[in-house]
Structure formats: C-alpha cells, structure tokens
Amino acid sequence: MTQTIFIKLPSFDISGQVALVTGASSGIGEHFAQVLAAAGAKVAIAARRADRLAELARAIEAGGGECLPVACDVTDRPSIVAAVAAVEARLGKLSILVNNAGVVVSKPLFEHTEEDWDYVVDTNLKGAWMMAREFAHHLVALKRPGRIINISSILASRTIGRVPAYCAAKAGLSHLTGVLAIELARYGILVNALAPGYIETDFNRAFFQTDSGKSLINRIPLKRIGQAPDLAGALLFLASPASAYVTGATISVDGGHGVAAI
C-alpha cells in the first residue's frame, strides 16, 4: 500500500509583488527584470537613462507583464527618492529591490586614477548603500516587509588583477549585506546577496573566446562559463516566500569556482 505524505512545500510565488531592478538597461540586470516579470511580479526597471529601458519595457509588456521604466542615478540621492516614489505611485506597494547597478574599470594598477576609483566605488558600493537605505526607509515608514537582493560577485572573495576598485567595492557590498540584514530584520526586511561567477555577456564574450578566457573557464569545476539564466533560480528563491528564514546570506552561483583552488 502506498502511503500518502502530506507536506507543505515552500512557495516561490511572487505574483503581484512590485520589484525594482537597478542597472536594468543591459546584461544581467535586464535578465533579472525579465525573470521577475515572467514570475508574475510588476517590475520597475531603472538606469541613468530611461530611454535605454524602453525596448526592454516593450518586450516585457508584449509578454503579458507589467513594466515601468524609471530614470535613476544610484549615486544621486534625490534621483533615488524620486524613483522609489514613482514606482510606488505607478505600480503599487514596492516590496523587492534588486540592487544590481554596477560599473567596472579594467586597467593596470598604475593607470588607475582617483576618478576611476571613485566612479566604481561610488556606483557599486555607495550607490547600493543609498538605494538600500532609501528603499528600507520607505518600507519602514509604511510598516511593510520586503526583500533586498544585493548583486555581489565572485570577486568579493577572490581577486584578479586590473580591477582593484571593483574587487574592493564588491567585498564591501558583501559586508554591507550583513550589516543591513542585522539592522532591518526587526522590520521584516530580509537582506541577502547573490554572487555570480563569470557570466557571459556582450561585454566579455570576446574575451572568453581567447586563450586566456578559455584557460579561466578550464579552472571552473563545471568547465563552462555561466549564462544569465543560471542565476534565475537563486534570484527567485531570494525574492520569494521560500527564503523566509534567510537573511544576511550570500548565495554563490559560480559553477564551483569560488571553492576551487586557484
């Protein structure tokens, strides 16, 4: 006789939730917005130039989703405040922030300028902090829970040459995630980080076809470069009720690269 076991499975349902994705004009930010929309969330897509978001918004809406392009510079507090207010007014109760906006400058150490450093750290670390703070302040004032998902990197824990500011900023973002998780837990706001490994994009595709790029791929235990869809499961987990007891965590999606010997 077959025994029937009744167990309540975790819910990954984010239907009707309102999510704000920064840095959504290209790359993995664009993909994150599409994933959240496909899962039923209403999605606000933010970048410095809203006109670059129009094509993505049309694609999401053509697929039956609801999408709002929003101009937002994460290094400018008034811009952040205006963006959060616009999302709440147009889409409804904001509940998910994907803190994805980021830039990189790749140069030998002695060619890096102070301006290069400030550009990268101000966007990737200070911008993420200001965005998270405003989002959290907005939710606390309205007595609503929420989720903050900071997009970190394998380079928060490993290092390579030519990108000192990026490595430092992502390492800082990982620690910031923990601090925010501690302070915001009392308000029902969960804060976690997603740390991608090497993900193929238009920016790096040519490099991974070179001998150096192929050598790097060979050091990844799964022996392949990551693709944007590889990040979708972890993103949805952190955005959904399934992660209700997870805060202050960093989930690596890197094909095992982070634990492999250099």
Residues identified as active-site: 166
Tokens at 177, concatenated: 């995630």
Q: For residues 99 and 128, is the Cβ–Cβ distance under 8 A?
A: yes
Of the chain, the end-to-end C-alpha distance in Å amounts to 53
Nearest Cα to Cα of residue 43 among 91, 88, 8, 9 = 91
Tokens at 164, concatenated: 């000192």
Q: Is 149 exposed, middle or buried (0-12, 13-18, 19+ CB in 10 A)?
A: buried
26's CB contacts (< 8 A; 6+ apart) are 52, 201, 202
